[in-house]
Amino acid sequence: MKPLTVLFAAFLLPALPALAADPWGKADAKAGQAKHAEKCVACHVKMYGGDGSKMYTRDGRMLSTKLDILQRTAACNSQVQAGWFPEEEAEVAAYLNQHFYKFKD
């Protein structure tokens, strides 16, 4: 191996998993599911029927990245005064991606 290759392996490769990390870190999607059910679902159900998830899967939905989900969750949190801390927003965003959006980045 050339010295540069060794350098790359030693310093850059360990950083890659960090780059691919979710914007919500290791937030617990299960906890987010309960919060979402409590504060968010009813209104989406009123609009789309069923379990309301069509809001997230409809044509022309507004979000296209994980960061969008996190930001939208934060905006909705303050709009509907759910009173969540950022960690709780992160849990809900993680839940929404795991179950509905399934974005890779």
Interface residue list for ligand HEC (CB under 6 A): 36, 39-40, 43-44, 55-56, 61-63, 72-73, 76-77, 80, 82, 92, 96
Label residue 52 left, alpha or beta by phi (over 0 means left) and psi (-120 to 50 means alpha): left
Least Cβ distance, residue 19 to ligand HEC (angstroms) = 24
d(CA 44, CA 76): 12
CA distance 76 to 89: 9
Nearer to ligand HEC, 2 or 45 (CB): 45
Judged by beta carbon, residue 3 or residue 49, the one nearer ligand HEC is 49
